[in-house]
Structures are given as structure tokens and as C-alpha cells.
């Protein structure tokens, strides 16, 4: 991690480190609308749907163009909060929701989930699709994500294999050379499991591809 990484992401300058910059938002939205969610996102949606979404309040952290919460709303979830560190992605997610007639059921919040979590409404289901890999401080990210009291947490993130670490170094090197503040992080699966276990969750699903994990965690005693 570069030494200039901020310890908190409270305002625009710091959020630029984690907020991607939305340069791909229009392209990603077009791809979602033309072909649906990518495969690991489809798997995440299916796992969450298998654990009852009817009437659920959803919190999606870092929704990008909104694939997961829009699918869950269409499947019967009652409402969603989209917390994203990128204004461009929030705007794209809102456009996608408007086109599907779902925007009045989504509350859009700009900022870091760690900074905003104390003021979020309760959630039944929390999802983080390709977000763990954008954030340097895993414990505070996961603790903030579960603070709205969900019964189910769904995540996708890169596997902590040696070859994914090589890929991460290559990716980060390219960003460094181009002057972009973005970085890619590979956190350990064991650490994700430990942090969520301390918060009362047990892993109920672990799948994905050779490169990415798709996982779900349920609050003990709820499934
Ligand atoms: C790689 S993109 C993934 C977007 C989308 N979930 C997907 O899978 O296509 C990461 C997203 O998470 C957001 N993000 C990263 N860290 C965040 C945080 N701590 N709080 C809120 N949003 C965050 C970024 O702004 C970005 O929209």
C-alpha cells in the first residue's frame, strides 16, 4: 500500500482512492442492460435469493451500477440502500433503477460505508460484490457493513492464491504508472471468516471460480 494512503475516507479527496472514478460506469451499465450481471454476480444473487428476499431491506455496499440490489428488488425485496464511494456509479445505478421503475425503493448514499454506517437504517441482507478488493482496511469495512444488523451477508472477492497476488501486483503497478490512486487488495479468506464469526455469522455458502470467491454468511440461529 502506498504510504500516502489515508487512514479514513471522509471527503472527496480521500474517496477518490476507493471510489474508482466512474470512468467505466456508462460502459458497465450498457453491459448490464444488454447482457445481465456477470457470472459471479449472478451466483451471488442466486445464493441470496435462495435465502429469502421477499420483503427484505437490502444494503448494497459499493453497488457500482446496481446489479445486485436491482435484481433483489425485482425478486421481491422491499427496499435497498446503495452506499457508494463514487458519485458517478451512484448516478449510473440511479439511472438503471429509474429505467426499471425501481428508483423510488432505493436510497442512495455517497461516501465510505465505514463513515456512514452509524446512520443507516436496519438491513436484513447486506451484499458486497467486488468491494472487499477495493478497500485496504478489512476489519473496519466488514464491521461497518454488518452494523445495520443483517441476517445474511453475501460477498464476492478475489481468492488469496499466489497467482492472484501476482495479478494484483501487475494491476497495481499499471495504476501506479498511470498516476491513478486506485489499488487492488487481496484479503485472506480466513480473516474474512474470522471477522464475520466474531460478529456472529457462520459461512453457509462458498463457491465462485478459480479466481473469485462467492460466499454467504448467516447470523447464527437464523438459518
Ligand atoms: C470494483 S467496483 C464494484 C462495483 C459493483 N459492485 C460490481 O461488482 O460491478 C467497487 C465499488 O465499491 C465502491 N466502494 C469501494 N469501497 C467502498 C466503501 N468503503 N464504501 C462504499 N463504497 C465503496 C466503489 O466506489 C465502487 O463502486
**Cβ(116)–Cβ(90) below 8 Å:** no
* Top mutation candidate among 84, 87, 112 for ligand 1, by most atoms within 8 Å of CB: 84
Q: Specify the number of domains making up the chain.
A: 1
Nearest CA to ligand 1 atom 27: 64
pLDDT surpasses 60 at 26: yes
Question: Domain for residue 138, yes or no?
Answer: yes
pLDDT surpasses 90 at 129: yes
* Structure confidence by residue, pLDDT tens digits, 180-212: 878 889 999 999 999 999 999 999 999 999 999
Q: How far apart are the first and last CA of the chain?
A: 38
**Cβ(196)–Cβ(217) below 8 Å:** yes
Starting from the edge strand earliest in sequence, which strands make up the sheet with 57-61, in order?
Answer: 106-110, 79-84, 57-61, 125-129, 152-158, 212-219, 201-208
The H-assigned helical ranges of 75-183 are 87-99, 113-116, 138-146, 162-178
Mean pLDDT of 145-174: 95
Provide the residue range defining the domain that includes 180.
12-219
CA–centroid distance, 220 to ligand 1, in Å, is 27
Question: Domain for residue 133, yes or no?
Answer: yes
Question: Domain for residue 175, yes or no?
Answer: yes
Atom of ligand 1 nearest to the CA of 144: 19
CA–centroid distance, 24 to ligand 1, in Å, is 12
Question: Domain for residue 169, yes or no?
Answer: yes
Specify the pLDDT at position 3. Answer: 52
pTM of the model: 0.95
Question: Domain for residue 77, yes or no?
Answer: yes
CATH of the domain at 47: 3.40.50.150
Specify the pLDDT at position 198. Answer: 97
Question: Domain for residue 2, yes or no?
Answer: no
* Structure confidence by residue, pLDDT tens digits, 83-123: 999 999 999 999 999 999 999 999 999 999 999 999 999 99
**Cβ(11)–Cβ(76) below 8 Å:** no
Candidates 167, 156, 128; CA nearest to 213 is 156
CA–centroid distance, 69 to ligand 1, in Å, is 13
Mean of the per-residue pLDDT values of the chain = 93
Cβ–ligand 1 distance for 19 under 6 Å, the answer yes
Amino acid at each position: 500500500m502506498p504510504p500516502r494512503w489515508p487512514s479514513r475516507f471522509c471527503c472527496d479527496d480521500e474517496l477518490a482512492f476507493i471510489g474508482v472514478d466512474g470512468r467505466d460506469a456508462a460502459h458497465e451499465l450498457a453491459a448490464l442492460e444488454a447482457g445481465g450481471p456477470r457470472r459471479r454476480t449472478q451466483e451471488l444473487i442466486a445464493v441470496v435469493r435462495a435465502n429469502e428476499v421477499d420483503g427484505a431491506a437490502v444494503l448494497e455496499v459499493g453497488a457500482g451500477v446496481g446489479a445486485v440490489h436491482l435484481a433483489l428488488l425485482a425478486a421481491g425485496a422491499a427496499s435497498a440502500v446503495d452506499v457508494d464511494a463514487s458519485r458517478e456509479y451512484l448516478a449510473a445505478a440511479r439511472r438503471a433503477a429509474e429505467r426499471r421503475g425501481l428508483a423510488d425503493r432505493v436510497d442512495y448514499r455517497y461516501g465510505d460505508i465505514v463513515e456512514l454506517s452509524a446512520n443507516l437504517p436496519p438491513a436484513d441482507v447486506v451484499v458486497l460484490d467486488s468491494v472487499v478488493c477495493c478497500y485496504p482496511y478489512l476489519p473496519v469495512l466488514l464491521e461497518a457493513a454488518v452494523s445495520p444488523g443483517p441476517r445474511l451477508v453475501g460477498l464476492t472477492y478475489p481468492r488469496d492464491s499466489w497467482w492472484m497476488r501476482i495479478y494484483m501486483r501487475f494491476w497495481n503497478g499499471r495504476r501506479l504508472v498511470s498516476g491513478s490512486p486506485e489499488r487492488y487488495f487481496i484479503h485472506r479468506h480466513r480473516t474474512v471468516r474470522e471477522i464475520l464469526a466474531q460478529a456472529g455469522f457462520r459461512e453457509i455458502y462458498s463457491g465462485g471460480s478459480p479466481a473469485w470467491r462467492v460466499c454467504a454468511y448467516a447470523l447464527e440461529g437464523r438459518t
